[in-house]
Structure 1
Amino acid sequence: MFTDWSEALEAESLPLDPTTEQQLAAAARATAHHSHDKHDLGLLLDALGLPTDPDTLTTLLPLIPETGDTPVKTTPAPALETTEPIDVPVIPLPGAHPVQELLDWATAHPAAAVRNRAARITADLAELTERRDTEAAQHEAEQKVAKARAELERAQEELRTVKAGTRTTAAAPTGARTGGSGRTREELAAIRSWAKANGHQVADQGMVPKRIQEAYDTAHQTPVRENG
């Protein structure tokens, strides 16, 4: 009990949570030490439910470490909450990273709201990581299929080329038979020469009349000797 009325009045004017703003300021400074730039700082502050107004960001910008510097670790101020910590499963992210360190800090925070937010963020990051890996595997498989299809089409084209070359090689040689007479060019030339020499009218080009071909064949038949 107060023994002096003035002391009671003075005590009555004191705030019930004098360290709440101090806690928020300490958390904001810790976040700034683990940020890469202003954009990163704004995202982290919003994820942890801390103020993101322009004045706060301007105040915290000098605390962002330079590129290549080791982030400064700070010990969060003790909280006034007396609630028992809840068991929140947290999936650790691979590798040492400022975001992971910040999540570790938030996971161990005595405030249940901060711990729950850290758990949700960790679960979202794990889901995004799984989706990224799945899409990467799908993209790799699609590239393999496209490569195999291209190789197959190239092999089919080579096969068609080989077959076309075989048909060209097997085409009619110099003595091939032409036209519907079934005779070679050399035979037709010989028939024309014979026909002209024997008084037959025949053109220098084109088809040789069938009657002249038959006369040529009759004149060039080998006589068969009769057996005595």
Structure 2
Amino acid sequence: MFNDWKQALEAEGLPLDPTTTEQEAAAARVAARHAGDKEDLVLLLDVLGLPGDDDTLTALLPLLPEDGDPDDMTTETPNAFEAMALSMHSNGDSTDAIISATGLSDDELTELLAAHGQAPDTEAAPEIPAAVTETAVTETVAPAVATEADTLDPGALQDLLAWADEQATAAVRNRAARIRTDWAELIQRRAIDEVEGRVAKLKSELEQAQDELRAIKAGTLPVPAAAPALEPVPVPDTAPAVVAAAPTPIRPAMGSGRTPEQLAAVRAWARANGYTVADKGMIKKAILDAYDAAQQAPAAKAS
């Protein structure tokens, strides 16, 4: 039992430089092959300062000796690179990948696997017929998938999600739930983006209007010219003389051709101007002529 990390590394032929993750994993596998049981393995990992969590123990337990006695092992303890090669082979890595990672030759890897009871990976990959090429597969499968995706509409998407909800596999149901969540989030983000765009546009227009208002108040922006005032209509200095209206034609009457009202007006005028007239009967023609001349004089004077 070692109680010093350097002693353990020297005993296993491991480098004394700072260990990498691969080296720690290889050392843990070596410790597992030397442990008698799970408790012994936990102690070894603790002494060597290696991880001893549940996941690590689960991966190392298959490496414990079947008879539980590490002293009965007849195989030689592998070094770090050989332990890495054995681990990679157990994980299903290809021969080329193991050789590239460990630096072992093909023969050395074959001997190492044989010494530890592991058969080399000699099974060749199945040969793909010439007719079944990548191009043929792409041309056969891809169009079908693309056609379904191109014709997918919201109704088809809902049908697909409903089908996924009825599946017994939890992974399929969970994927459908994630799709619904992503779909709702995308719709919300698009709506937010559209509203933010409108808000930004309105803010820009408001700021521009405020700048114009401040410029007008400060007098740095000319106010649009008002409509030209209407020119006054020139008024001539001398207004045309008002033409006197012609006297109302006198309705013809019996005798003098005047109405009783006109005759009464003539009698009143005649008496006022020193003429003698009777209350009834015909009026002398001279008085009528004088009356007519007196009435026409003001109109002629006005014109």
User: Greater relative contact order (Cα 8 A, min sep 6): structure 1 or 2?
Assistant: 1
Q: What TM-score do you get using the length of structure 1 for normalisation?
A: 0.31
Q: What TM-score do you get using the length of structure 2 for normalisation?
A: 0.24
The structure that has the greater radius of gyration is 2
